[in-house]
Amino acid sequence: MNKEEILREALVAREQEIMNYQINIDNYTLAIENIKTSGDPDLTDFLQKLESLLISEKLEQKKVNIMKLAIEQQLL
């Protein structure tokens, strides 16, 4: 396997990773909205956990996007 083949596989892996983060971001966003709509005080801790996870997932997705860009630049 040569460098280009490895980079292409890495690019596919990064794209999948970005999609996985996006799925989590979408799920957390919707869950947060549902909890806020419900107004259930028993879910306050869970709401805070989801909000923290949402922030984390967005940051991690940004990092993966940077690495994806670096791979794409090497493939030019």
51: which 2 tokens? 């909000």
Number of compact structural domains in the chain: 1
Work out the average pLDDT over 33-48: 98
Range of the domain at 7: 3-73
pLDDT band at 8, cuts 50/70/90?
A: very high
Q: Evaluate whether 31 touches 54 at the Cβ level (below 8 Å).
A: no
Residue 71 in tokens:
């791979």
Q: What is the pTM of this model?
A: 0.93
